Structure 1
Amino acid sequence: MELVSFLKVLWKHKNLLIIIPLVTIIISYFLVKNLADKYVSKSQIATGIIDESRHLLDKESNSAAQAQQINQSFSNLIEIMKLKKLINQVSYQLILHDLTSPTPFKPYSKLFLSMNAGAKKHAIELFKGKFQRMEPLDYYNKDENGLNELMRSMKYDERSLREDLLIVRDEDSDFISVSCESPNPQLSAFVVNVLCREFINYYTHTIKQNETDAVTFLANLMDEKREALNRKTAQLQQYKIANGVLNLEEQSKGIFDQIMIYNDRKQQAEKDVASYNGALNNIDNKFDPKDRNYIEATLNKYNTAVVGTQEQLHLLTDKYVRSNFAPQYKAQIDSLTKQLTQQINLTSDKYITNPLTGKDALVTQKLTLEVSRDLAKYSIVAINSALNQLNAKFNRLVPFDATVKTYNFELDIASKEYLDVLNKYNETNLKSTFSIKLRQVDYATPDAAEPSKKMLLIILSGFAAFAFCIITLFVIYFFDDTVKQPAELVNQTNLPSLGYLNAVTGGTLDLKKLWDVEHREKMKHFKELIRSIRFEVDQELKGEKVLAITSLAHHEGKTVLAISLAYSYAMINKKVLLIDGNFGNPTITNTTQPRLYIEDYFKNNPDNYEAFSGATTVLGNHGGDVTLLEVSDEKFIRSRFNELKTKYDIIIIETPALSSLNKSKEWILFANKTIAVFEANKGVKKSQRNDLNYLRNLNEKFAGWILNKASIPEG
């Protein structure tokens, strides 16, 4: 529905939609017909960023490069090419060309023509110096600012050149395209080639210098880290030499293993001593004290030999323990043990025991056990001595271990730093060797003129004007809150509608003339709408006879509706009384010139008035600042209305507008139904809210709205 309404607005303004774009097209034609032709020169720069043939040694690292990194590399190159200092280099070359060449790229400007030979020579020297040093012009220097104005007058300044330059990457390729558009093909090619050359030189010098600085810095840093690593290594070596430390971990492990072995042997020796003592106690209990004295007296010389052998065995056992149980001592111990066994057996061969007793075997066993016990006891002493020495050595290694670990920790850090710097140095050195090498693979050359865009500009101007008109009309339509259809009036007032009337141009208020022009379609349609309203009014009256016609404001069309509705009722043989109740603007009275007036009929004693006659009667008023209840009181007026109801089938009252306050409400007081006229293409004002509330409070007494002068098509 909204779209249809908007299309109606467009159709209403169709002439505007045709004229404005047409005028715009004509103006555009005269503006663009004298435009100069444009010449575009293009060049390509190969970057080598994604060229596999130029990344043979660093192919692995290049293949791992992500698309984002590649895009960043191209973006950096393009932004470098757009640097102000590089564009200035092109500007200097352009102005120097025109200053030194008899065939300039552009016609000389007024400022250029005003220069004498000395000024030109000075300008050439200054521009050459700026070009060689890649320096910008100082705008705060009067002399240099004047030269800058010279370039601006020739459109060679940095801002003007940027407008004609286009620098982009060719899709996903390895090339960067540089193009320039100008009225001169030689100028376009010159700008592109100079910019590419200066960019390649600047990038090569700058990037190589940065790479060289980076490699030099990393080389110096690598030397420092290597010296630090060597210094830490030498400190560790000197400490180990000074303290006799070879390998703390192996040494401590060996000492610990020896301590565990000695502890095991000590436990075994203590166990042997305990077992030997137990066995000797059992043997001693079997001997008589007298036999013991006899044995000790008899075996004295044999015991001396045994004791000597035992001493030798003790010394050899001590050496065996101290040598960490060396195998060579084991053979000697076994030999002495065998000799000691023979000496003990020799004591048993002599009949030195009491022949009356059979205890010679016990004596031999006892001597053997005593020797074994003594060996075990002595070995315990030797083992304890060795354990003490081993523990002392182990404890002595503890501070060495802490210091060596500190040195090792510092050495690890120094080694890691050195390796990191070495890897970074190798990587940077490799990248610098195979860094990006820019090449201008396609030089710009003067080309033919570009296809003319004049027709396209003219067409676009027409479309732009047409679109502007459409948008303007849409904005007006969107913010337009005026009432154009009965449904809109119902939505804004929350009151019902009975119908609408179309706009009548050139009409008259003469009843017969208004209805007799059958050949005019507007009048025919108007008559059909009046008939429809008459039917709706009859449905609302339901046998009642008094109908009041009012409006929110003056000049809404109450008079036309009242006259037309009265004549419509007369056409169906109804006796109609039309009352002009608008004292302030008695249009019906002035138009019809009635014989009867309200002031005469509604007097308290109106004895002198002409009798009502005819099918349609008009009751006018003399006008003036007067109201109905000032003419007579309510009771009398109501009685007069009752008389009129007996004489007429329908009584139509045109009341003043509701903006006149009580003047309209006094007439509505005596009406059975009230209808209100609202002129189309007007909005409901905030000041009319009280009047709308009044109509709503009438409830069933208010029949509905009549939208007047509506632009609603037939059908």
Structure 2
Amino acid sequence: MELGNFFKLLWKHRLLLIIVPLVTIIISFFLVKNLADKYVSNAQIATGIVDQSRQLLDADPTGSAKEQSIAHEFSNLIEIMKLKTLINQVSYQLILHDLSNDVPFKPESKLFKTMNPRARAHAIEVFTQKFKNKQPLSYYNKDENGLNELLRSMKYDERSLRKDLYINRDEDSDFITVAYESNNPQLSAFVVNVLCSQFIDYYTHTVRKNETDAVNYLSDLLEQKRQILNKKTNELQEYRIKNGILNLDEQSRAIFDQIMVFNDRKQQAEKDVASYNGAIQKLNNKFTPQERGYIEANVSKYNQAVTNTQDQLHILNDRYIRSGFDPKLKAAVDSLSNKLTAQINETSDKYISSPLTSKDELIRQKIGLEVNRDLARYSINAINTSLNELNTRFNKLVPFDATVKTYNYDIDIASKEYLDVLNKYNQTNLQSTFSIKLRQVEPATPDAAEPSKKLLLIILSGVISFAFCVVVLFGIFFFDDTIKEPAELVKRTHLPLLGYSNTVEGTLDLRKLWDVENRDKMRLFKELIRSIRFEVDQELRGEKILGITSLTNAEGKSILAVSLAYSYAMINKKVLLIDGNFSNPAISNTVQPKIYIEDYFKNNPDNYETLSSTTNVMGNHGGDITLLELSDENYIRSKFNELKMKYDIIIIETPPLSELNKSKEWLLFANKIVAVFEADKGIAKWQNNNLQYLRNLNSKFAGWVLNKTNASQNRF
């Protein structure tokens, strides 16, 4: 489909495109003539979501608020404002105003006028109660359902109010704009102000309740965590008191330090014993066996004073070791050691050695070394005893330490939980103090009427009606698969085209057909027929028999056949027009020929029917008969040969291809075939077989003639 064809369709229906919008504009003018003026009232609510000046105490220090979260918050506020509960509050206030005031916002409805004073008082009571409790009217309660009907009759119900209510955020600002449009400026301002106040009250109450519940919950949770922390702390204190634990770390560190000191002293004592034994052994090697026996016999018998002092030194040294090497006892040990040395020196003055040998100094050294060795040996025993006691005490501290660490771990966890809850409690408590930021910064006031939209509505109605007509015509054009132009016929059938003809009115009279009232149409028709005649001559190339058929009945075969016959007669050609359409002999009925097909082609020896030179039409009697039923093919072909001798051209109108083989029998004898197709008709699926038959004729098929086209169409 070409766009130009669509514009042609629009031009064809130009009157429709003018009249329909014009009528619509006239009707719209009378409809909007008495429309009431519209009044719009606006109010603004500051939310504090974007305004940082109102977020000094609870501002986000990280500045992590994102546009998406801000948009979600505004969307949530707007949806809250659109809740049915809040719209119902506005409805109650409106109806209460009209019930209790002499000047209502709107004209009283029929149901409103039927209410008596008692009914009005009851309605005021119910609406007031519902407003205070923020409750909807029940549809299942007969009384409340009647009040619902009252709201609907006054257009104060939720659905009616929502139609003219507009709630939007002002671009990326901190404000929400609420607007309402009505026929009364006071009504518009009243609706907006009531809705804003009810929204702020509802939101404040809801947020306060949620925050109070959160604070109370955190307070109870904080008290529970405090009790758990105190309980864990008390258990640790009781365990320390019960087991005498002051500071396990300090105690274990002190015992460990003592163990290290004793180990050092033990190593030193063992080293001293080994050194003393070596020194004594060297001294013993300096004496002969006789001297050694003598010395050992006398030295082993110390005097009583040395022995007593030595025992005291052992005891005091043992105390000194057990005390952890107390410096106070160290002085006593040193003093007693000096005393023992003095006593040993005194014993060396005796003659305990051989009178023959002077080795007193060696003997004194040996005795001193033995005393020191004994002291070191006794100190090792004392140190081992102290080490065992210290290890025992240190091992006892291990289970205490594990238990205390368990208590401390539990206390740490309880303390962290307590501090987390405390921080959350403080934060929530602070936010609850400053969380409500909603306030109506600009109340709604009665405003002037909005600019009239009457002219715009009238123009819009005309534009819409015009566009509707165009759309309808486009739909017709888009879904129209009929063939209107010769090029479309060639494209759809893939067969050649001889020409086309326009629509004319007239009879099938050979002479009167070309003489009609509309001279312009007739002149065009003549020119188109002459063009077809020329194309037919080019196709015949000296042949004489032309068959004219169509896909269906009443497509213009007869008009074309008669017109071609007359056109050939105008150029002094001898023309024979044969009406081969037995089922619809239109030419025969009009012309009333002198000779008929049934008589001429019938193979009968008694048939001597001949054509005169003046005969140019051969008709038929009609009926259910075919050409080959009159005679055999050879005989008919011989008769056509006779006709060729007498006439310059023979034009045969055949039945349509839809009548099975009736048309095909005639086409057997035609040299060229022309098919007539009526414009503004489509090609059905069942006609594809007939199209294929025409294609199979190959060069025998001369082409299409598109009939009944628009006279204004361009020639191909």
Alignment pair present for 1:685 and 2:684:
yes
1:148 — aligned with what?
Answer: 148
> Contact 1:554–1:657 (CA<8 Å) still a contact in 2?
yes
Give the superposition deviation at 1:399.
3.0
1:234 and 1:564, CA in 2 relative to 1: closer, same or farther beyond 3 A?
A: same
2:588 — aligned with what?
Answer: 589
Residue 709 of structure 2 aligns with an amino acid whose one-letter code is A
Paired with 1:577 and 1:432, the residues of 2 have a C-alpha distance of: 111
1:211 — aligned with what?
Answer: 211
Paired with 1:433 and 1:699, the residues of 2 have a C-alpha distance of: 98
1:636 — aligned with what?
Answer: 635
Alignment pair present for 1:397 and 2:397:
yes
2:620 — aligned with what?
Answer: 621
Farther-moved stretch of structure 1 (222-231 vs 198-207): 198-207
For residues 659-709 of structure 1, the C-alpha deviation after alignment (integer angstroms, 9 at most, x for no partner) is: 110111212233344332222222222222332333344444444433322
> Contact 1:486–1:499 (CA<8 Å) still a contact in 2?
no
1:484 — aligned with what?
Answer: 484
1:98 — aligned with what?
Answer: 98
Residue 196 of structure 2 aligns with an amino acid whose one-letter code is C
> Contact 1:204–1:437 (CA<8 Å) still a contact in 2?
no
* Residue aligned with 1:462, SS: helix
Please give the root-mean-square deviation of Cα atoms over the aligned residues, in Å: 4.2
2:16 — aligned with what?
Answer: 16
Q: What is the number of equivalent residue pairs in this alignment?
A: 713
> Contact 1:91–1:157 (CA<8 Å) still a contact in 2?
yes
Residue 33 of structure 2 aligns with an amino acid whose one-letter code is K
2:199 — aligned with what?
Answer: 199
Farther-moved stretch of structure 1 (548-557 vs 89-98): 89-98
1:364 and 1:613, CA in 2 relative to 1: closer, same or farther beyond 3 A?
A: farther
1:132-143 correspondence runs (5 A): 132-143=132-143
1:73 — aligned with what?
Answer: 73
For residues 597-653 of structure 1, the C-alpha deviation after alignment (integer angstroms, 9 at most, x for no partner) is: 332332335662324637x94433232211111011122223333444555554433
Farther-moved stretch of structure 1 (442-451 vs 427-436): 442-451
* Residue aligned with 2:70, SS: helix
2:554 — aligned with what?
Answer: 555
1:230 — aligned with what?
Answer: 230
Paired with 1:392 and 1:81, the residues of 2 have a C-alpha distance of: 78
* Residue aligned with 2:448, SS: coil
Residue 24 of structure 1 aligns with an amino acid whose one-letter code is T
1:374 and 1:620, CA in 2 relative to 1: closer, same or farther beyond 3 A?
A: farther
Paired with 2:288 and 2:534, the residues of 1 have a C-alpha distance of: 164
Paired with 1:348 and 1:571, the residues of 2 have a C-alpha distance of: 187
Farther-moved stretch of structure 1 (598-607 vs 419-428): 598-607
For residues 5-46 of structure 1, the C-alpha deviation after alignment (integer angstroms, 9 at most, x for no partner) is: 222222222211111111111111111111222222233333
Give the superposition deviation at 1:656.
1.0
1:7 — aligned with what?
Answer: 7
Paired with 2:524 and 2:247, the residues of 1 have a C-alpha distance of: 122
Unaligned runs of 5+ in 2: none
2:442 — aligned with what?
Answer: 442
> Contact 2:613–2:646 (CA<8 Å) still a contact in 1?
no
Paired with 2:308 and 2:476, the residues of 1 have a C-alpha distance of: 138
1:340 and 1:114, CA in 2 relative to 1: closer, same or farther beyond 3 A?
A: same
1:373 and 1:569, CA in 2 relative to 1: closer, same or farther beyond 3 A?
A: farther
* Residue aligned with 2:163, SS: helix
1:532 and 1:405, CA in 2 relative to 1: closer, same or farther beyond 3 A?
A: farther
Residue 481 of structure 1 aligns with an amino acid whose one-letter code is D
Paired with 1:271 and 1:559, the residues of 2 have a C-alpha distance of: 151
2:186 — aligned with what?
Answer: 186
1:57 and 1:93, CA in 2 relative to 1: closer, same or farther beyond 3 A?
A: same
Give the superposition deviation at 1:464.
1.6
Residue 26 of structure 2 aligns with an amino acid whose one-letter code is I
> Contact 1:310–1:340 (CA<8 Å) still a contact in 2?
yes
1:268 and 1:564, CA in 2 relative to 1: closer, same or farther beyond 3 A?
A: farther
> Contact 1:55–1:62 (CA<8 Å) still a contact in 2?
no
Farther-moved stretch of structure 1 (551-560 vs 361-370): 361-370
Farther-moved stretch of structure 1 (660-669 vs 368-377): 368-377
Paired with 1:565 and 1:357, the residues of 2 have a C-alpha distance of: 185
1:499-514 correspondence runs (5 A): 499-514=498-513
For residues 45-88 of structure 1, the C-alpha deviation after alignment (integer angstroms, 9 at most, x for no partner) is: 33333333333323445954333333333333333333333333
> Contact 1:483–1:489 (CA<8 Å) still a contact in 2?
yes
For residues 461-484 of structure 1, the C-alpha deviation after alignment (integer angstroms, 9 at most, x for no partner) is: 111211211222222222222222
The alignment-based identity, stated in percent, is: 70
1:670 — aligned with what?
Answer: 669
Paired with 1:644 and 1:363, the residues of 2 have a C-alpha distance of: 184
> Contact 2:501–2:705 (CA<8 Å) still a contact in 1?
no
Report the TM-score when normalising by structure 2: 0.84
Paired with 1:647 and 1:379, the residues of 2 have a C-alpha distance of: 169
1:699-714 correspondence runs (5 A): 699-711=698-710, 713-714=713-714
2:410 — aligned with what?
Answer: 410
Paired with 1:208 and 1:141, the residues of 2 have a C-alpha distance of: 33
Paired with 1:276 and 1:486, the residues of 2 have a C-alpha distance of: 143
Paired with 1:639 and 1:669, the residues of 2 have a C-alpha distance of: 13
Residue 416 of structure 2 aligns with an amino acid whose one-letter code is K
> Contact 1:166–1:179 (CA<8 Å) still a contact in 2?
yes
Farther-moved stretch of structure 1 (534-543 vs 9-18): 534-543
Paired with 1:343 and 1:118, the residues of 2 have a C-alpha distance of: 135
For residues 503-534 of structure 1, the C-alpha deviation after alignment (integer angstroms, 9 at most, x for no partner) is: 31324434455557799444444444445444
* Residue aligned with 2:666, SS: helix
For residues 235-289 of structure 1, the C-alpha deviation after alignment (integer angstroms, 9 at most, x for no partner) is: 2222222223344455556656666776777778778888988999999999986
Residue 46 of structure 2 aligns with an amino acid whose one-letter code is A
* Residue aligned with 2:119, SS: helix
Residue 588 of structure 2 aligns with an amino acid whose one-letter code is T
1:13 and 1:307, CA in 2 relative to 1: closer, same or farther beyond 3 A?
A: farther
Paired with 1:674 and 1:356, the residues of 2 have a C-alpha distance of: 179
Give the superposition deviation at 1:383.
5.5
* Residue aligned with 1:653, SS: strand
Paired with 2:690 and 2:285, the residues of 1 have a C-alpha distance of: 145
Farther-moved stretch of structure 1 (570-579 vs 653-662): 570-579
Unaligned runs of 5+ in 1: none
Paired with 2:646 and 2:562, the residues of 1 have a C-alpha distance of: 19
Give the superposition deviation at 1:299.
4.2
1:230-629 correspondence runs (5 A): 230-249=230-249, 251-252=251-252, 293=293, 296-297=296-297, 299-301=299-301, 322=322, 384-493=384-493, 495-514=494-513, 520-537=519-536, 540-541=539-540, 544-569=543-568, 576-605=575-604, 608-611=608-611, 613=613, 617-629=616-628
1:88 — aligned with what?
Answer: 88
> Contact 1:518–1:524 (CA<8 Å) still a contact in 2?
no
Residue 603 of structure 2 aligns with an amino acid whose one-letter code is N
